[in-house]
Amino acid sequence: MSIRRRRRPRPPQTGEVSAHDDAERFFFDLESVRPDHRVRSLCRQAQEAVLLAMAEIGLDSRLDGTWVASVDPAPGPERLLVTVVIAPDANAEVIEETFAALAEIKPALRAEVARAIHRKRCPDLAFRVTVDGGGDEK
């Protein structure tokens, strides 16, 4: 890696330093300004890939009216949590059918994510189905 590519945290501006700042933190805090930048970038790439893949695969009537709200890092290594939103008038049976449809297309969605992210290992996908309007979650 070249010296130009390595970035050090920027020094604090005059207005950011106060008398209450801990001296140890001020001099020795070399943490990145954006510690989860790579994880968030991976989630954005995966969300875009899942959105496009669901639009292409959209032949399943059980997935009509669904959309991907977010992709977040899931607990544990190599997993992403995909939040899928369905219509507000959905009942428990519709949620179960949506889960079944997502389980069927999961390999295709994971393959699309693998094509999009260019990583050594493709993360596994876990799904959360939410009713539009912040209602039921499963």
Taking the whole predicted model, whether its pTM rises above 0.75 is answered as no
Mean pLDDT in runs of 10 for the chain (138 residues)?
Answer: 61 60 53 68 91 82 87 83 90 90 92 88 91 61
* Structural domains present in the chain: 37-131 (3.30.300.20)
Q: DSSP secondary structure string, 57-107?
A: HTT-GGGTT-EEEEEEEPSSTTEEEEEEEE-TT--HHHHHHHHHHHHHHHH
